[in-house]
Amino acid sequence: MNWLEVTIDTSKQGLETITGILLQLGVTGFVIQDPDDFDEFLTYQGKTWDYMDEDVEKLKDCPTNIKFYLAENMQGQETFKEIKKTLERMKDSSEGADYGSLEMSLGNVNEEDWANNWKKYFKPFEVGEKFVIKPTWESYNENTNRMILEIDPNSSFGTGQHYTTQLCIEQLEQIIKPDAKVLDMGCGSGILSIATLLLGAQHVTAVDIDQNSVDIAKDNFIQNGMKQGQFALHCGNVIADEALVKIIGQGCYDVVVANIVADVIIGMKELLKDFLKPGGTLIASGIIGDRSEEVKEHLKSVGFTVKHMTEKNDWVAIMADF
């Protein structure tokens, strides 16, 4: 397997926050370069070393950054997109915090080239019991009773290859009814919204904090033959925007799906509950295994009853009723 080297430029203040985000997204190995550490080391080197190489001495002037590696495949591409999207959110809402530039670079590879190269790994594949996920640029001529969901994620999260997306689709297959009204929080490419409509939902409202994702989702709705009256799209941050919450509507959804990350689900637990009708169901994913019990307890604390939890490759999806 080939690996891609990724570097995030940050500040000393940002190190803990960024490493926490990486851990939530399943990146468990990284190298931190902090000039303060080298400076402290160099300050005391005279007491313990007879000689110090000039290249080592220069490290006290190095930038603060975090380096890690992603597999050069679809999983790596999905993780890269989610990290990039999270960093963009941090830039927009840092509220005075000094996180540094939060710029992300890819070894010796041009990001645009890598963003196109990943397509060679994206072929039609089956998910759950009812779907074939097919990229728009691929053909699919197999005889199947499964529904074909076409997707072009472009720069947005949501090819269907990530375990969290698959877990959500598998749970949606179990609960979507013909008259269901669905809310998709953090819709990305729109893949989960489209899946609910193909399963027979009456209407889906898709929300994302990133306008580019909302635009991509709209294109994918159209690609899959969805009519304008079947979906609504909104861009914004429901945690900070009360007007958007009113537009989306509270107490009117049979199903809410939130494939985000653990901290955001925890931060939105009251809102997620308020969006649901009494007796409605939440599907929450994007949760790394180590934090699944923590998320479960937070959901229970606001009145959710956890029905079951499913897991793939240390990623977890929680189905809970309100």
pLDDT at position 4 is 83
The superfamily in CATH containing domain 122-321 is Vaccinia Virus protein VP39 (3.40.50.150)
The answer to whether 317 and 284 have CB atoms below 8 angstroms apart is yes
pLDDT at position 109 is 66
CA distances from 68 to 83, 105, 115, 143, 207 (A): 12, 11, 18, 42, 30
Is there a binding annotation on residue 92?
A: no
Q: DSSP alpha helices (H): ranges in 132-241?
A: 163-175, 191-198, 211-223
Show Cβ contacts of residue 276 under 8 Å, excluding neighbours closer than 6 positions. Answer: 251, 253, 254, 256, 282, 322
The two three-digit tokens of residue 202, written as one number: 């009456």
Kindly report, as residue ranges, where domains of CATH 3.40.50.150 are found in the chain: 122-321
The answer to whether 183 and 205 have CB atoms below 8 angstroms apart is yes
Q: What is d(CA 125, CA 58) in angstroms, rounded to the nearest whole number?
A: 50
CA distances from 35 to 40, 59, 250 (A): 9, 6, 49
Q: What is the pLDDT of residues 142-161, one digit of tens each?
A: 999 999 999 987 766 778 88
pLDDT at position 107 is 82
Angle between helix axes 191-198 and 211-223 (nearest 10 degrees) is 30
CATH code for the part of the protein at 3-107 = 3.30.70.2170
Sign of CA dihedral 7, 9, 11, 13: negative
Q: By three-state DSSP, how is residue 97 classified?
A: coil
- Is this structure's pTM higher than 0.85? no
Length of the chain measured in residues: 322
Antiparallel, parallel or unpaired: β 131-135 and 147-151: parallel
Kindly report, as residue ranges, where domains of CATH 3.30.70.2170 are found in the chain: 3-107
pLDDT at position 110 is 67
Q: Is 258 left (phi over 0), alpha (psi -120 to 50) or beta?
A: beta
Q: In what order do the strands lie in the sheet with 147-151?
A: 125-127, 131-135, 147-151
Is there a binding annotation on residue 259?
A: yes
The answer to whether 45 and 52 have CB atoms below 8 angstroms apart is yes
Residue ranges of the chain with per-residue pLDDT less than 50: 41
The answer to whether 140 and 132 have CB atoms below 8 angstroms apart is yes
pLDDT at position 86 is 86
Q: What is the pLDDT of residues 178-191, one digit of tens each?
A: 999 999 999 999 99
The two three-digit tokens of residue 267, written as one number: 């931060």
CA angle (136 as vertex; 131, 139 as ends), nearest 5? 75
Q: What is d(CA 89, CA 94) in angstroms, rounded to the nearest whole number?
A: 8
Q: What is d(CA 322, CA 308) in angstroms, rounded to the nearest whole number?
A: 13
pLDDT at position 159 is 82
Reference 254, options 310, 199, 191; nearest CA is 199
Is there a binding annotation on residue 100?
A: no
Lookup result for tokens 């001529």: 141
Q: What is the pLDDT of residues 116-147, one digit of tens each?
A: 666 776 889 999 999 999 999 999 989 999 99
